[in-house]
Amino acid sequence: MKKILVKISLVVAIGLMLFSQVKAQSSEGRFPFLATVDFCGELVDLNGEYHMVTNAVTSKSGNTMYKSHINLKGIGVGQTSGAVYQVNEAINESINASKGSNVTLTRSFLLVGQGKAPNFKGHITFHMTVNANGQLTAEVDNFSADCK
């Protein structure tokens, strides 16, 4: 999921920089993802696609209201157990940002085990800092999973 998050964060950062030059902008795209994530001691290979729709409006003062809707669909296979998992999430985000701002996003998602495989709930916290020139200067993401 970290690779997914990095891709999403780069899209957000680029979007914030680009959208700060215009009054209103919309975009849409489909992006594949591939990641290996440790869910409670089981490495799970995930792959799928996310569909992202974004809208941004920049005020005369340079502040940007950024909204996105992301549909995430994919499957995962446990490297040790061979268990199959499904991920199917919808994420809605709103960010008010200006150059020289900090943004922190927190997300949770469910990896649904098929058959007797357990479900896992993942949590992602992401933070980025954009300087007064609109450049991404810091990016941190943390991932954890509930093991039950």
Torsion sign across C-alpha atoms 9, 14, 15, 20: positive
> Between the CA of residue 136 and those of 63, 89, 110, what are the distances in Å?
16, 27, 29
Check residue 15 and give its pLDDT: 53
Hey, is 94 helix, strand or coil? strand
Number of structural domains the chain divides into: 1
Q: pLDDT digit string (tens) for 62-71? A: 777 888 888 8
Contact (CB, 8 A) for 135 and 17? yes
Percent of the chain with pLDDT over 70: 83
pTM, two decimal places: 0.64
Cα Dmax for the chain: 55
DSSP-derived secondary structure for 15-48: HHHHHTTSSEEEEEEEEEEEEEEEETTEEEEEEE
Nearest C-alpha neighbor of 109 from the set 85, 89, 84: 89
Q: pLDDT digit string (tens) for 27-43? A: 889 999 898 888 878 89
Show the domain range for 52: 2-146
